[in-house]
Structure 1
Amino acid sequence: MTDLLLAKAHYPVTTLGPGTRAGIWTQGCTLHCQGCLSRDTWDADPAKAVPVDAVLGWLRSLPAPLDGITISGGEPFQQPEAVLELVSGVRAWQAELGHESIPLDILVYSGYVYTRLSRSLAAREILNRCDAVITGPYVDRLNPEGRHSPGGSLLWRGSANQRVVPLSGLGRRRYAAAAGEESNRDDTPRMQVSVDEGPEGRRVYYIGIPRRGDLDHLTSTLEQAGVRAGDVSWRP
């Protein structure tokens, strides 16, 4: 049985791929992109280890609708054995029920460029079981200004250098438009909010792809209303 270092799992997610999705964030990343909004997922904390079977059990327990699964991080490809077991388990579950009864797609994010992933046997094994991958490091200067961004938006991407690569027939149907340089789907929500109660108290998570300056503007607005954010994951 393989353990996955897991930062968070959440349902429903509506901002990281098409439809209503389950979100899985891995824990641990050595890429450390400047301006990363998820610094809390950098450390490969062994206390975050969860059996892959437990994650698969959670996925099986979710209600409809479930249009897809988004795996982000952290850096999923720094846990290739666990992530391969996870995506293989999802495909086995689909095969049990019949693919047509649950036509969900698997989208995975990576800070590595696609050419590097395609040269790795372990990464290719994962990608062969996914429907789309979004690749490339986050580059802060290539993330448009939130409230002043002209034209279209970078659908499901953090910065313009990142690439959406469909990997299957279902992936091409659902991600072909996003694979272009820009999308004009400005009506697509960029962020949603999740509030979790834990042993350390209440934590607020912002799920999605904010534009540069969005979170600082949100923090400032909350403070003006008397709500103090405290420690945040997007500042050192």
Structure 2
Amino acid sequence: MLLAKAHHPVTTLGHGVRAGVWFQGCTIGCPGCLSRDTWAADSSHSVTVDSVLDWLAGLPPVDGVTLSGGEPFQQPGALRTLLEGIIEWRGPRELDILVYSGYVISRLSRKPESRDILKLCDAVVAGPYVERLSDDSPLRGSSNQQIVPLTPLGQQRYGTVGQETRRIQVCVEDGAEGRRVYYIGIPRRGDMDRLSAVLDGAGVRAGEASWRL
């Protein structure tokens, strides 16, 4: 699979404390997307699904796993294998699987390949991001996107949109090319400019920003 990143703990994008896996590669290209760095299907991001499952297995207990991107459904074989591995790993635990997709739910439900994948998810957030329809939902970027529960656990956790305010995590990662700052969550309008201002005030000079590509 092509992997953009994996992160723990994730305290946004779903119920409780979670693990997050972001697929690399997306051809949908929603205008205003804040994760344009995940669009290119770059082979340098290739990893085995087993390595992601091994990473999950080494984590402390989590409430769920969120899969996003990029576009997970553009790697259907890897997505299905990963979901099957997560289901085996979670066993009887109440650990939900939430998947984000830029495709509308009617399309995902109509195609046999993606319809079978939906059976492995507890809930999906489906539909393209539309910048002018940005709302304050904690789980979706714009009001046209649907939060679709698919199992009893999904219904319990995502059947109603909560009243929580949007939150974003700011994460710092040291790597061979220097320090990287990235966010996890769905920012409100203007949040990223405010974040840049805070970083500048702290003496952190941002380089290339995915939301400005």
Matched letter for residue 207 of structure 1 = I
Cα RMSD, aligned residues only:
1.2
Report the 3-state secondary structure (helix = DSSP H, G, I; strand = E; otherwise coil) of the residue aligned with 1:24.
strand
Q: Does residue 91 in structure 1 map to residue 87 in structure 2? A: yes
**Structure 1 unmatched ranges of 5 or more:** 145-152
Aligned residue number for residue 200 of structure 1 = 177
**Structure 2 unmatched ranges of 5 or more:** none
Shift of residue 126, structure 1, vs aligned partner: 1.3
Aligned residue number for residue 184 of structure 1 = 163
Q: Partners of 1:124 and 1:194 in 2: how far apart?
A: 34
Shift of residue 192, structure 1, vs aligned partner: 0.5
CA offset digits 1:6-55 (Å, max 9, x no partner): 00000000111010000000000001111110011000011101100110
State the TM-score, normalized to the length of structure 2: 0.96
Give the aligned length. 213
1:1-236 equivalent positions in 2, closer than 5 A: 4-64=1-61, 66-95=62-91, 99=92, 102-144=93-135, 153-178=136-161, 183-186=162-165, 190-236=167-213
Matched letter for residue 127 of structure 2 = G
Q: Using a 3 Å threshold, how does the CA distance of structure 1 residues 207 and 229 change in structure 2: closer, same or farther?
A: same
Matched letter for residue 6 of structure 1 = L
Shift of residue 225, structure 1, vs aligned partner: 4.2
Q: Which runs of at least 4 in structure 1 moved beyond 4 Å after TM superposition?
A: none
Report the 3-state secondary structure (helix = DSSP H, G, I; strand = E; otherwise coil) of the residue aligned with 1:50.
coil
Shift of residue 184, structure 1, vs aligned partner: 2.4
State the TM-score, normalized to the length of structure 1: 0.87
Shift of residue 168, structure 1, vs aligned partner: 0.0
CA offset digits 1:175-206 (Å, max 9, x no partner): 0112xxxx4223xx510011111121110110
Q: Using a 3 Å threshold, how does the CA distance of structure 1 residues 14 and 40 change in structure 2: closer, same or farther?
A: same
Report the 3-state secondary structure (helix = DSSP H, G, I; strand = E; otherwise coil) of the residue aligned with 1:159.
coil
Report the 3-state secondary structure (helix = DSSP H, G, I; strand = E; otherwise coil) of the residue aligned with 2:13.
coil
Kindly, what percent of the aligned residue pairs are identical? 60
